[in-house]
Structure formats: structure tokens, C-alpha cells
Amino acid sequence: MIFEHDVVVVGAGLAGLRAAVEVAGHADVALISKVFPTRSHSGAAQGGIAAALGNEEPDSWEWHMFDTVKGSDFLADQDAAEVLARDAPRAVYELEHMGVPFNRNPKGLIAQRAFGGHTGELGRRSIKRACHAADRTGRVIMDTLYHEAVRKGIKVYPEFHLLELIHKEERVEGLAVYDLAQGDVHVFKTRAVVLATGGFGKVYKTTSNCFANTGDGVYLAYKAGVPLQDMEFVQFHPTGIRGLGVLISEAARGEGGVLRNGPGERFMEKYAPTLKDLAPRDMVSRAIAREVREGRGVGGLDYVHLDLTHLGKERLSEKLPEISSFVRIYLGLDPLKDLIPVEPTCHYMMGGIPTDLGGAVLGQSGRIFQGLYAAGECACVSVHGANRLGCNSLLDLVVFGRRTGKRVLEDLPRLEARPLPKGADESVRMGLDRIKERKKGIRPRALQKQMQEIMSACCAVYRNEAGLMEGLDSVRSLLAQLDEVVVENKGGRFNTDLTDCLELEYLLRLAEVILVSAGARKESRGAHFREDFPQRDDLSWLKHTLVQKNDQGPLVSYKPVTITRFQPEARVY
Ligand SMILES: Cc1cc2nc3c(=O)[nH]c(=O)nc-3n(C[C@H](O)[C@H](O)[C@H](O)COP(=O)(O)OP(=O)(O)OC[C@H]3O[C@@H](n4cnc5c(N)ncnc54)[C@H](O)[C@@H]3O)c2cc1C
């Protein structure tokens, strides 16, 4: 079938929903999502959304901006960080007015709690800036925004999987999608496309991300010629449940939880004397890895403990009910009495599709890719630079989701609908058939597992030249096997075997870009730590990485960082 809408938003997480809600009522907008919309990963966000409301103690947007920039190890573009911090209070009150049930403090105001890297007076002390609804913040914002989308009559196509961006040079014309329920290919004719397809934590073995986070939009933009930005910066969250990666939110430490090594020491005091357990994530993850390397993991093994036993029953059940239940369900432990085994888990991608402050995608040589926009974790504005602070992603989604919606409306009058190329759906359909026709070969999940192991071994918290080179060789040898991947399910409806195969390609291509970017950056900054280049080197490396698809392989180039208010300084916490 052929569908036609002025604007198509791909992805129904908070970024996509917020963009679509902005456009609705002004232009004909549709929302497509490969999972049922409210199943998007945004619904799993636990800890909160940052805004300098000052409800618990004095705060200001300048301090929030400073923390974001310092947290990013000075790689964030400061004009973008300023937009984020300045707009945060408005964005949170807007959510409140839409109906998000935030926790309240005794004064009846939106309650706020401490989070990693959020400080008062430019780094002097930890500050309470995270607005939250217990530890289900993403869930309640998701349900509220989805309700808003339904109320505004946005046409939703659930379980439609984007397969191709149809474009002529740097101008979008439409989309090809796979209808999971029917097993058929459809095309959308459209004037503007917003990519809000989320992250790709599934590149790694241990991750807090859901199964859908396979980087589809990021890869398809790359395939269409968009250079990807800062892909070497992969955030590992310090407290994933050991062996599973399921997240124990930083809110646990915001509420007073502490990390302990094997001998029971509160080791973060050594690494970050002021903020201790509430230092930024890159530093805490490295500290855990170092404790483990130096033999101070629990029982000499590869993990440490998160201690919540002193928080008391009331606080756990009021502020951290969800993670308390995870600990009971997944580990059979009682967080009131037992220490929780944790290890760093792949959590967030700082890099992605480069955009300007309005969400317009920057194609080759920084030119605007006409009709293409991106928002949320798949985009790189860049507000998070080399390391994102906790609670700044949910904020990014609603601030830049809204701005993207506004920008689309501004641009729409000059984006004429174009005729779709003939047979656009047919060539995509034939591509899928070719995959299904293979009789013998490797199962997609088997290759995916190998890739995840390689990436976790070669390109995680610590990196070095030899490991990165080895990782790149191994990933390329897996890429060479893509044509041999076999899909055993030859049916049409809900063929997850087939979508696994498509997602495997996206993940492998992005793994290659991560490795190439990480290999090229010969310094340590934020989440990218090179054992062979352990210092930050502003003289040579205070710049964004760009990687462009090329017939000879990914091509690396750089672009400057926008610095407005804060000059780079040593990152001491
Ligand atoms: C466990 C966990 C807890 C977190 N807690 C917090 C927190 O407390 N505070 C905070 O600020 N951040 C938190 N984060 C980070 C934050 O939740 C994510 O960065 C954010 O939700 C990403 O939102 P998004 O809208 O960009 O994409 P997502 O919410 O990931 O949604 C992606 C959407 O794209 C769709 N999609 C993808 N590919 C396709 C395709 N091919 N075709 C069609 N649709 C497609 C999916 O169906 C989905 O609807 C957390 C992350 C995790 C994993």
C-alpha cells in the first residue's frame, strides 16, 4: 500500500511523541513504531528528569548548563547545552500541566533528588535537581504523552518497521516500511521525516537497553550519506545487575546508596572526594573497573556491591519501589538486608545523527539534508558530548523533540511533496525475499552474540590500540558473513527471525563505526578512555568526530566544538 502524510515521525519514545504532539493540529502527522508505542525504551527510564526548579535548594540554569558541559568533558556544544538547561523548567512544568504525576515535597512542589554530576555553585556540592515519579519517571511521562498523542488524533502505525529512507541525494521523498503483522512492505509518501528511533545498546553483551534498541534510524541515515557524529562515546552505567545488565538507577545513590568493593570500602571517596558516589557515570564506571583490576572486586571477581541497606523500608518503598522489586525478582535478594552485586552496563549512546538546534539533520559537509530531522537518543545535537549526565536524556527528548516539531512546521511550506520513484516498494520487497530464500547458513542471533562479545571485550570502559584493531578485524569478518545469514521462518506474520536479520546488519555497521571512531581518537575524554593515551588532549582533540560511509570503508573527519561560556578545565569532582 501507499500511505501519504505531510510529516512522518519514526519512533514513539518520548522524543518522537513530543515532536508529533507539536506538529499535530498544524499539519497531517503520522507516527510509526516497530514496537507498540508505549513499549518504547523511554518507558523504562527510572530515575528522573533534570531541571533547575530550585524546589529543594537554590539552583540556576547556569549551574545546570555548567554541569552538563563539565560532565560532557567539554565536548558538548555549549549553545545546545544552554538551550537544554534554560528550557528545562518550562519543559517540566509543561509535562506537569499535561498530567505527569511527579512526586511532591512537603511544600507541595515537585520533589527533586540528587543525581550524578549535578552540582550547586559550579561544582562545590551535590544538588537536588532530578524531578521524578518514584523510579518510574519514564513510564509516567510516556503514558501522559501517548495520551496526548491519542487526544490530538495523531495517526499511529504500530508495529511498522522502517526499512529504507527514500531520498534523492540530500532530499527526503518517503519511506519504505515492513508491516510486521501482515508481513508486507508499504511505502509512505511524505514531505518531512523525523527520526526518533532511540539508541543501540544492543551492540554490547551487557546492556540496560531493551531488545528494540538496534540503531535502525542511525544506520539508515548513515546509509543515506549522513556522517555520524561522536560514535566512540558509549556510556556504561556503573550499576547494572551483575550478569544481566538490568539497570539499578543512579537514583539509588541519589537517595543515599553507596558502592562498596570486596573488602567493604566505600571506594568512590578516593576517586571523587567531593561528589563521591554521585560523580559522573564515566568516572564511577572506570573506578569500578579499576577496583576489579586491582583485585578488590567482591571475592576477587569482576563486580562490586551497591549498598542500600541503610536507606530504610519507607524510603525504598516510596522512592525506589521498582528497582527494589528488580532486586527481589532477578536476584532473590532483599535490598533492605543484602548488598546488591553490580557491574558497569552499556546504557546510552552519546553519538548519533548530527543535527542543528532545531533537529534538522546535517548531511555531507554540514549541509542540511532537506526534509530529514532527528531527535532523542538517535540524534547528536550535541548536548551530552563525551559523557551524558543522568536525567539529561529525558530532558533532551522533550526539549529537542518539541523544537524539532516546531522546526518541521517552519520548514514545511517549502518542502513540496515529490513523486515516489517507481517500484520503490518492489525493490525492498525483493531484498527481503532474497534473505528468506537462503536455505542454509548462520542464524542471526549467533552472529549477534559474537559481535556483542567482541565489542564488550575490545571497546568497553577501557580501550587500547591493539584491542580496537582486533575488534575492528573481527567485526569486519562478521560483516563479511552477513550474506550467509539464514532465516528459518519463511512465513509472513510477525517474522522476528527476519527482523533479527535486518537489525543484525544495523548493529554490525554501527559497531564498525564505533570502533573506527574510537581507534582514531588518540586521547581520553569522557566515556572514551584510552589506556595508551590516558590524558585529555584539548590541543589536538577538542573536536567532534564525523564518520561517513564510503565505498572504501568509513571515512573519518572532524568539526569544531561550539564554546560560549565555559572554557575547558580539569575535571575534578
Ligand atoms: C533502563 C533505562 C533507564 C533510563 N533511565 C533514565 C532516566 O531516569 N533519566 C534519563 O534522563 N534517561 C534515562 N535513560 C535514557 C533514556 O531513557 C533514553 O535515552 C531515551 O528514553 C531514548 O528515547 P527516544 O525517544 O530517543 O527513543 P526510545 O524511547 O528508545 O524509542 C525508540 C522508538 O523508535 C522505534 N523504532 C526503532 N527502530 C525502528 C524502526 N526500524 N522502525 C520503526 N520504529 C522504530 C521504537 O519502536 C521506539 O518507539 C534510561 C535508559 C534506560 C535503558
Task: Give strand pairing partners of 4.
Answer: 189
Q: What is the pLDDT of residue 568?
A: 97
Does ligand 1 have an atom closer than 6 angstroms to the CB of 391? yes
pLDDT digits (tens, 9 = 90+) for 497-527: 999 999 999 999 999 999 999 999 999 999 9
Q: Give the predicted TM-score (pTM) of the model.
A: 0.97
- Residue 53's pLDDT band, with cuts at 50, 70 and 90, is very high
Please say if the pLDDT value at position 341 is more than 90: yes
- Average pLDDT, integer, range 523-544: 98
* pLDDT tens digits, one per residue of 13-23: 999 999 999 99
Residue % of the chain over a pLDDT of 90: 97
- Residue nearest ligand 1's atom 6 by CA: 45
The answer on pLDDT for 285 being more than 90 is: yes
Q: Which of 393, 402, 504 to mutate to test the pocket of ligand 1 (most atoms within 8 A of CB)?
A: 393
Task: Give 68's pLDDT tier (boundaries 50, 70, 90).
Answer: very high
Going by alpha carbons, the residue nearest to atom 13 of ligand 1 is: 45
Q: Are 160 and 30 within 8 A, CB to CB?
A: no
pLDDT category at 544 given cuts 50, 70, 90 is very high
Mean pLDDT of 405-417: 96
Give the pLDDT band of residue 117 (cuts 50, 70, 90): very high
Q: Whose CA is nearest to atom 41 of ligand 1?
A: 162
Residue 515: the pLDDT is 98
Distance 511 CA to ligand 1 centre (A): 19
Query: If you average pLDDT over residues 314-336, what whole number do you get?
Result: 95
Q: Is 68 in the pocket of ligand 1 (CB under 6 A)?
A: no
Residue labelled with grid coordinates 572554557: 567
Is 260:305 a contact under the CB 8 Å cutoff? yes
Mean pLDDT, residues 309-335: 95
Supply the pLDDT for residue 424.
Answer: 87
Task: Ligand 1, residue 397: give the atom nearest the CA.
Answer: 25
Distance between CA atoms of 564 and 195, rounded to whole angstroms? 28
Q: In the prediction, which pLDDT does 469 show?
A: 98
Cβ neighbours of residue 304 under 8 Å, at least 6 residues apart?
Answer: 259, 260, 261, 262, 267, 288, 291, 292, 297, 298, 341, 342, 343
Looking at every residue in the chain, the average pLDDT score rounds to 97
Strand blocks (E) in 324-453: 340-349, 353-354, 360-362, 368-374, 379-380
- Mean pLDDT of all residues in 35-58: 97
Closest ligand 1 atom, residue 46 Cα: 8
Does the pLDDT at position 461 exceed 90?
yes
Extract the C-alpha cell encoding 440. Answer: 542454509
Does the pLDDT value for residue 301 go beyond 90? yes
Residue nearest to ligand 1 atom 21, measured at CA: 42
Average pLDDT over residues 41-67: 97
> Residues 460-467: what's their mean pLDDT?
98
- For 250-329, strand residue ranges (E) read 258-260, 304-307
| Structural domains of the chain sorted by starting position, each given as residue range(s) with its CATH number in brackets | 238-344 (3.90.700.10), 426-536 (1.20.58.100)
Average pLDDT over residues 148-175: 96
